């Protein structure tokens, strides 16, 4: 198994790795924070290093989201735990209708993690923050003994300010509404699985881990006509549809032939016996929109450089099952959720 950011654990000397003393609150903790963490993530708010960060005045409604990241391995084709911890939380704010403002960052580190791995993760966090126009406002660092966690877990909690028009949410989905995805699905889960299991594809499947900033910008003028949006992370697009069907009381139907799936994801999914609809995305979202808006939404996404954006299905009056799929031969059947746990530690 890949031990992290191309930097295996056992070869490091004691001074190159995180020790329990780094988490004890005394001098080594302050050095770790001052010389490594603050140095990379520096900004006027974080640099105060108070018990709480002063974010300043806000004239609009505050929105908050939290996410812990336990992805294994720490680095995978197309991304790493650091950038993903920023993008994932930024995306949760974006799809909820917020303008992301800042994040907190909490690290749980396994004793023995090479400091070089920590440095690389911090740099990826900072780069991702700059890309998304956010900053790390406050943080926390804990160290646990070997075997008590797996290298590194990260929590980011995000604060944003509500836009003037917020999506109504999944309860507002009505019969006749259309379902849209912004890009090819399942990319992230397949990339992590292939990497973790040593499946040597050339080129390897790439995660779609990225912020949804450009998609949201393209959809801005159409936002008053969007019912709801959701980044299709754990459980994939399938889990979003199940949840929306529950919330709306509609049956949601998607057409297999209209769902964009890359050749790589299709190949690996078949190899592993997975349905891409159940596999996590980290830079692709699902929207439910009024049917008269669907074409405009897809056109706007195509024009903004997302050629795979597709209308994949519709909402209709609830019949027996919450979600159905129309297969390649036109037959409709219930779409079941997986009962097992095929994809642990994808995010």
- By CB under 8 A, the residues from 30 to 49 that bind a second copy are 30, 48
**Angstrom distance (rounded) from CA 124 to CA 175:** 43
Q: How far is the CB of 102 from a second copy (least distance, A)?
A: 7
Any contact of residue 242 with a second copy (CB under 8 A)? yes
Q: How far is the CB of 256 from a second copy (least distance, A)?
A: 19
Burial class of 249 by CB neighbour count within 10 A (0 to 12, 13 to 18, 19+): middle
Number of residues forming the site for a second copy (CB under 8 A): 86
Closest CA to 73 of 200, 193, 210: 193
Candidates 126, 138, 207, 248; binder of a second copy (CB under 8 A) is 138
Tokens of 106: 């909490």
Q: How far is the CB of 152 from a second copy (least distance, A)?
A: 11
Tokens of 334: 């219930």
| Cis check: omega of the bond before 73, within 30 degrees of 0 | yes
Considering the complex, state which of residue 176 and residue 224 has its C-beta at the smaller distance from a second copy.
Answer: 224
Q: How far is the CB of 59 from a second copy (least distance, A)?
A: 9
Residues 59-88 that bind a second copy (CB under 8 A): 60-68, 70, 72
**Angstrom distance (rounded) from CA 145 to CA 134:** 32
Considering the complex, state which of residue 36 and residue 302 has its C-beta at the smaller distance from a second copy.
Answer: 36
Any contact of residue 249 with a second copy (CB under 8 A)? no
Binding mask 98-127 for a second copy (x = CB under 8 A): x---x-xxxxx-------------------
Q: How far is the CB of 157 from a second copy (least distance, A)?
A: 4
Q: How far is the CB of 88 from a second copy (least distance, A)?
A: 10
Any contact of residue 12 with a second copy (CB under 8 A)? no
**Angstrom distance (rounded) from CA 239 to CA 49:** 39
Q: How far is the CB of 194 from a second copy (least distance, A)?
A: 18
Any contact of residue 272 with a second copy (CB under 8 A)? no
Candidates 18, 143, 180, 219; binder of a second copy (CB under 8 A) is 143
Q: What are phi and psi of 273, to 5 degrees?
A: 70, 35
Closest CA to 110 of 225, 182, 20, 208: 20
Residues 148-167 that bind a second copy (CB under 8 A): 148-150, 153, 155, 157-160, 162, 166
Considering the complex, state which of residue 320 and residue 341 has its C-beta at the smaller distance from a second copy.
Answer: 341
Geometric angle at alpha carbon 342, from 336 and 345, rounded to 5° = 125
DSSP state of 10: T
Candidates 12, 29, 290, 291; binder of a second copy (CB under 8 A) is 29
**CB neighbour burial string for 17-35, b if at least 16 within 10 angstroms, e if fewer:** bbbeebbeeeebbeebbee
**Angstrom distance (rounded) from CA 64 to CA 77:** 29
Any contact of residue 239 with a second copy (CB under 8 A)? yes
Instruction: With contacts defined by CB under 8 A, name the span among 236-244, 264-272, 295-303, 324-332 that binds a second copy.
Output: 236-244
Residues 170-229 that bind a second copy (CB under 8 A): none
Integer distance in angstroms from the first to the last C-alpha of the chain? 17
Candidates 38, 76, 80, 96; binder of a second copy (CB under 8 A) is 96
Any contact of residue 266 with a second copy (CB under 8 A)? no
Burial class of 5 by CB neighbour count within 10 A (0 to 12, 13 to 18, 19+): buried
Considering the complex, state which of residue 50 and residue 176 has its C-beta at the smaller distance from a second copy.
Answer: 50
**Angstrom distance (rounded) from CA 47 to CA 50:** 8
């Amino acid at each position: 198994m890949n031990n992290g950011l191309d930097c295996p654990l056992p070869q490091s000397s004691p001074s190159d790795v995180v020790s329990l003393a780094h988490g004890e609150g005394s001098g080594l903790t302050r050095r770790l924070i001052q010389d490594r963490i603050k140095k990379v993530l520096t900004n006027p708010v974080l640099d105060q290093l108070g018990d709480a960060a002063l974010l300043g005045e806000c004239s609009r409604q505050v929105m908050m989201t939290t996410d812990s990241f336990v992805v294994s391995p720490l680095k995978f084709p197309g991304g790493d735990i650091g950038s993903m911890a920023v993008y994932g939380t930024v995306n949760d704010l974006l799809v909820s209708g917020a303008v992301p403002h800042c994040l907190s960052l909490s690290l749980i580190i396994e004793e023995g993690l090479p400091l070089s791995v920590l440095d690389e993760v911090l740099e990826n966090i900072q780069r991702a923050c700059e890309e998304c126009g956010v900053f790390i406002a406050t943080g926390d660092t804990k160290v646990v003994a070997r075997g008590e966690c797996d290298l590194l877990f990260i929590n980011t909690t995000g604060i944003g300010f509500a836009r003037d028009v917020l999506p109504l949410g999944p309860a507002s989905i009505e019969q006749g509404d259309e379902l849209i995805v912004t890009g090819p699905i399942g990319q992230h889960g397949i990339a992590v699985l292939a990497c973790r299991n040593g499946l040597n594809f050339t080129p390897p499947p790439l995660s779609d881990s990225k912020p949804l900033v450009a998609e949201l910008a393209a959809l801005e003028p159409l936002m008053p006509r969007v019912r709801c949006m959701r980044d299709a992370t754990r459980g994939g697009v399938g889990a979003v549809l199940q949840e929306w069907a529950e919330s709306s009381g509609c049956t949601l139907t998607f057409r297999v032939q209209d769902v964009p799936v890359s050749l790589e994801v299709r190949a690996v999914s078949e190899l592993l016996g997975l349905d891409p609809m159940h596999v996590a995305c980290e830079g692709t979202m699902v929207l439910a929109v009024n049917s008269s808006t669907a074409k405009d939404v897809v056109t706007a996404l195509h024009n903004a450089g997302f050629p795979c954006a597709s209308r994949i299905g519709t909402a209709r009056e609830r019949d027996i099952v919450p979600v159905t799929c129309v297969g390649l031969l036109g037959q409709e059947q219930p779409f079941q959720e997986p009962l097992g746990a095929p994809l642990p530690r994808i995010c």
